[in-house]
Structure 1
């Protein structure tokens, strides 16, 4: 069996290796050579499936490990509650703009203290090698129908574009390999521009769109179909049209992005695919002062929307608006318990994950939570009915799906819970004059810091179903699933709205689609019971741009979008995206006109937590120093 070291320079893998297919079948290639693998369509298919094991998206768990520095913390959506080991140190390295040290961490898969984006850099090159090997040999496969060949090629071209998108969106232009290097190739390679890589990604995607099926047969459910390639094209063209890349604001780039999104919308409509989940009855939930649903963990009218993300039972049913997602959960523990990673582990705390099984309890930042509108469809600063001393009432219904706040009924059934009250306890001073049981205490003993709790005053509800818990030995109440969604249709409508607004204005539409930018956003809002975008936000491209960006923040929150959004918009350096604000909730002795709930509420910048820094060079990440040291012509990212 041949073996080579995986690096960018020698992305030379043996054609005889063991891999795990993305559908959780193990296929061994030990003792097989290249001719064996590509002599049989089944072996060739299993070989390509090995490439999926290297695909680490923003929602993926690398080797079963949740991301130690997820996009939701880098993008200013949340802050980690874990205080021991290297988790806060990794965040602090990012906050101090020490990106090169992060990229120089061990990039081996399964390194628990290495951020996924570091592992992704290395794993993507491995996946590209597998894909290129497949494309170089696919025509040798015997006994394959033209449909078989087209399906394999379509997946390979899709995967190559996806691998390159994942690394170029952070590092900029690299080297787009359409053929694998071999030992006799010179290593003096120079980095290409992002624009050059973009052209190659789009070329690969156009081929994939042409070759992939509209849908797969039942035994292949979960593979990327034509719509997944179109969704990736929409995402990439929007990234390329944005200020980070499109420095001259070339309008054609926006037209291209609008067209890519429109093509997918028309395709979905023509084929009856990817329709939005309807949860419009959510406008009926009673979330006013002392409302019947205000402290419900999962209001029934919101369940159609909530079940896009989490649901009861371990068996996943792909939601109707999902275009592509990771279909299987990780099998971990001696009992082979299915655990939904990584979002649940990132957002839960000790009471839900007993035994210190790597929870992080990322809490939502108060300044991010302020982006949720009122149910009247207005920003909180624009709605005279909004009372900052009663911030939980009458908000966008998605607030009650995504945010867990003090007083919500929350079942913790594990033994000896820190918080056994039956509700979220997040007050800095509660009715008993004590710190809430879900919050970190500044007096916590060093040997108890592993009991991960909250800092921010808000928890994330989106990925935690009520009643779930895990105890040591992989026991507990685990009869639920979380969907690791890679593409879903609301992103496409929001991509369309943003690109159309920039190219044609709020009331414009892309050629071939009678849908305005405003109407596209209204579709996303109406399906959760929110009113149309208020007219005060649609009068100009500039004002509507801000509302589109806010809508993305709400609809796609905690799904891995925010960090790349604020980068591509070139706003990551602004104060609003650097600050940390925690909600401080304090009992004031009783209900009064000033304090309708008896509590005061205040967003506070904590003095003991490191504020983020961000300069122009931080918009593009460095590559590992070892790459440049080995081949100096492969230059480091500008500024690093």
Structure 2
């Protein structure tokens, strides 16, 4: 099968090596036997490319689980994925998951894990990592003109990439903390920032300006050898996402929602670093226009919503030709031949393809991202029933889980859910691929006729829940379990269809364009359209578009920020979560079937706790102690911490 592996120029050499070694060596570090200085690094185009690749490695994010025993999906912070404790204490350590889910986050045990090269560090050191990322971009911006053998067009392109990277690094911290210091020059070697937090107004305006400047000087397309490099469309996409967040209630709080967030505000002038001073509907118009600009510019960049009219994955197939359109997008696959590089992707991180240690993810990435990938030791990424129920049935209706039964495989598949569910999940009894024809999530049968399945334990701790549904998005299933065709979708076009629909409804209730772009996403998925009869008012549409975004972008690192910006996290994440658990049984059939029936029941995953102060992550004490974040008489810490 023809497949095209495309790597970002020089990132294979520099970035992936940095990832796998913890980036202990940076491009300006003095090596044995000589000096590396700004003048030597930025003397030739070849040398400068090392600095550019290093910048990408620090500034361009990925949601894939890294080769680190403490790493995990960010989804564990939401209702999408639940790791069972205490068995999973060793997983998600760099997110401090075990503290976060019970309301125990602190400045030293926060969820901030910093940029990719620092994902193994503690929260106390993570925040400064964002400014190391920013420094990488600022160094390129400041010194790229020193390169003696490169054309001006190349330098202009590189400076635009660096502007994007600087904006992305600032955005990555903003989405957690709110207003942060804006840094436009390379910091000194000691890394001390010594710049106060910017207001939301100033920060958003600055990031948008950088995105506009970058877009104006970036090409619309890149050659296939540069797959993963930033384009003008990527800059427009970052701008659109920032403006959508800025228009949302967390930062642009309407009068009716101020009480919900009061516990995470100072309710005085300091709140400018947390939100705009007052609500403005015009921010939604600005967000809508930015999302539409992405949609309108997409064709010139060769980007389109991938829709071949095949919403369903062909039953019992494990090849590219059998994939439904949604699963093909998530596998970053173009067409039935399995060619790498989905046309829906605006910007991806290609790290997974460039892992030098083996064909795909290093072991911890495979073990911690699902149980089903390795079919043995690892952490089960359980999907709670409460999240599963957000998937509509194929006819567009809601459903409620039946608490128990005798054939889980038949029950779950017979629900006839939104096809995106079956293309994102693994479940008990599923025909997964030719090598895994009946997923053995089950506990031992009561009569001992069936030993527990190899997927029964949720971790390596023998907890034996028999939990039966886990996330399988970005988990190798086709092409003989080949991990290499995945790339992390930083931006894909579907996001901006949904952003446009959301923003248009907020600006003009039930705008026709809102229905149009909502339904384009649903049509690709094989789901029925929504119309004004079903969604008669702005609130009904708001709930529908929020649910659609949740489903379409599930397990892609959107849920955390969406729940926060909508000001619904304190509702959704303050509740008990439950899961399906299955036990093997012959159900009276003699001789017993080769594959058991799976009797199921609902089991408690425990209760999540989300204090209102969680809306803004606390700065680590190390930063607060340096007294630069706030103004006179204020240390700059977020409220409640």
Deviation at 1:452, TM superposition (A): 8.9
1:243 corresponding residue in structure 2 = 249
- State the distance in 1 between where 2:423 and 2:527 align: 14
Bigger mean CA offset, 628-637 vs 185-194: 185-194
CA contact (8 A) 2:494 2:521 kept: yes
| Pair 1:545-2:538 in alignment | no
1:437 and 2:485 aligned: no
2:373, 2:475 within 8 Å by CA — same for their partners in 1? Answer: no
Distance in 2, Cα, partners of 1:341 & 1:531: 40
Q: What does the per-residue CA deviation read over 1:74-101, in whole Å, with 9 as the maximum and x for residues that have no partner?
A: 1110112582653277322111233223
Secondary structure, counterpart of 2:347 in structure 1: strand
Runs of 5+ in structure 2 lacking a partner?
Answer: 1-10, 19-24, 255-278, 402-406, 590-595, 631-635
**2:353 is the alignment partner of 1:324:** no
Contact 1:254 1:503 in 2 (8 A): yes
User: Contact 2:305/2:493 (CA < 8 Å) preserved in 1?
Assistant: yes
CA shift at 1:573, angstroms?
A: 0.8
RMSD: 4.0
Q: CA deviation at 1:432?
A: 6.2
Give the secondary-structure state (helix, strand or coil) at the position aligned to 1:566: helix
Deviates more, 1:153-162 or 1:102-111: 102-111
Contact 2:375 2:455 in 1 (8 A): no
User: Which residue number corresponds to residue 147 of structure 1?
Assistant: 153
- Paired with 2:17 and 2:494, the residues of 1 have a C-alpha distance of 29
1:68 aligns with 71
Q: How does 1:50-61 map to 2 (within 5 A)?
A: 50-55=54-59, 57-61=61-65
Q: Which residue pairs with 1:605 in the alignment?
A: 604
Give the match for residue 417 of structure 2. 395
Alpha-carbon distance in structure 2 between the residues aligned to 1:315 and 1:21: 28
CA distance in 2, matches of 1:341, 1:323: 28
For 1:524-543, list aligned pairs within 5 A: 524-533=521-530, 535-543=532-540
Give the superposition deviation at 1:343: 6.8
Alignment of 1:351-366 (within 5 A): 352=374, 359-366=378-385
Question: Aligned pair count?
Answer: 570
State the alpha-carbon separation in 2 of the partners of residues 555 and 633 from structure 1: 37
- State the secondary structure of the residue aligned to 1:247: coil
Select 2:613's aligned residue among 607, 611, 617.
617
Matched, 1:33 2:37: yes
- 1 CA distance for matches of 2:485 and 2:578? 31
Q: Distance in 2 between matches of 1:149 and 1:614?
A: 47
Larger helix proportion of the pair: 2
Report what 1:424 is aligned to.
439
Tell me by how many angstroms 1:429 deviates.
7.2
How far apart are residue 170 of structure 1 and its match?
0.2
Question: Relative to structure 2, which stretch is displaced further, 302-311 or 141-150?
Answer: 302-311
Q: Cα deviations across residues 219-276 of structure 1 (Å, max 9, x unaligned)?
A: 323201011111111111111111111113411110011000001111113x162111
Deviation at 1:45, TM superposition (A): 3.3
Quick check: 1:371 aligned with 2:390?
yes
- The Cα of 1:297 is off from its aligned counterpart by 6.7
Shift of 1:21: 3.4
Compared CA separation, residues 438 and 576, structure 1 to 2 (3 A): farther
CA shift, 1:466, in A, is 3.0
For residues 420 and 601 of structure 2, the distance between their equivalents in structure 1, rounded to whole angstroms, comes to: 22
Alignment correspondent of 1:121: 127
How far 1:20 moved relative to its partner?
Answer: 5.4
Q: Which residue of 1 aligns with 2:53?
A: 49
Q: 1:231 to 1:540 in 2, by over 3 A?
A: same
Alignment partner of 1:305 is 2:305: no
Structure 2 CA distance for aligned equivalents of residues 183 and 252 of structure 1: 42
Distance 1:468 1:283 in 2: 18
**Aligned counterparts of 1:576 and 1:348: Cα–Cα separation in 2:** 22
**1:80 aligned onto 2:83:** yes
What is the distance in 2 between the residues matched to 1:221 and 1:206? 22
The answer to whether the aligner puts 1:212 opposite 2:218 as a matched pair is yes
Q: Following the alignment from structure 1 to structure 2, what is the Cα–Cα distance between the partners of residues 165 and 455?
A: 40
CA contact under 8 A between 1:234 and 1:257: conserved in structure 2? yes
Q: Per-residue CA shift, 1:288-344, capped at 9, x if unaligned? A: xxxxx4x7677965444322223799997110100110124266686x443279875
Which structure 1 residue ranges, 5 or more long, are not aligned? 1-17, 286-292, 414-420, 443-447, 470-476, 509-515, 592-596
Are 2:620 and 1:627 aligned?
Answer: no
Where in structure 2 are the equivalents of 1:179-198 lying within 5 Å? Answer: 179-182=185-188, 189-198=195-204
Separation in 2, partners of 1:629, 1:27: 27
Secondary structure of residue in 2 paired with 1:282: coil
8 A contact 2:80–2:383 mirrored in 1: yes
Instruction: Judge which range, 170-179 or 453-462, deviates more.
Output: 453-462
The one of 154, 159, 162 equivalent to 1:156 is 162
Alignment-derived partner of residue 258 in structure 2 = none
CA gap 1:492/1:66 in 2 versus in 1, 3 angstroms? farther
CA positional deviation for 1:200: 1.1
Q: Summarize the Cα distance change of 1:203–1:487 in structure 2 as closer, same or farther, 3 Å threshold.
A: same
Change (3 A) 1:88 1:495: closer
1:152-208, Cα deviation, whole Å (9 max, x unpaired): 111011001100000011011111011234489997532222222111111111101
CA separation in 1, counterparts of 2:178 and 2:542?
Answer: 25
Residues 1:374 and 1:66: Cα distance change in structure 2 (over 3 Å): farther
Are residue 21 (structure 1) and residue 28 (structure 2) matched? no
Q: Which residue of 1 aligns with 2:520?
A: 523
Say if 1:340 and 1:569 are closer, same or farther in 2 by CA, change over 3 A: farther
Q: Give the drift of 1:562.
A: 0.7
Shift of 1:600: 6.1
C-alpha distance in 1 between matches for 2:183 and 2:113: 24
In structure 2, distance between residues paired with 1:105 and 1:240: 20
SS of equivalent residue, structure 1 residue 408: coil
Q: Secondary structure at the match of 2:638?
A: coil
2: distance between equivalents of 1:312 and 1:527? 16
| CA–CA distance in structure 1, aligned partners of residues 428 and 192 of structure 2 | 61
Aligned to 1:347: 369
User: 1:349, 1:451 within 8 Å by CA — same for their partners in 2?
Assistant: no
Please give the per-residue CA displacement for 1:443-494, whole angstroms capped at 9, x wherever unaligned.
Answer: xxxxx9357977642022222233789xxxxxxx646432211111111111
**Equivalent in the alignment of 1:253:** 283
In the other structure, the counterpart of 1:275 is 304
Indicate the SS of the match to 1:580: strand
2:488 is matched with 484
CA deviation vs aligned residue, 1:540-574 (integer Å, no higher than 9, x gap): 11101111111111111111111111011111111
Task: Measure the CA separation in 1 of the matches of 2:433 and 2:140.
Answer: 50
After superposing the two structures, state which structure 1 stretch, 166-175 or 533-542, moved more: 533-542
Indicate how the Cα distance of structure 1 residues 97 and 84 shifts in structure 2: closer, same or farther if over 3 A, else same: closer
Q: Aligned equivalents of 1:71 and 1:308: distance in 2?
A: 20
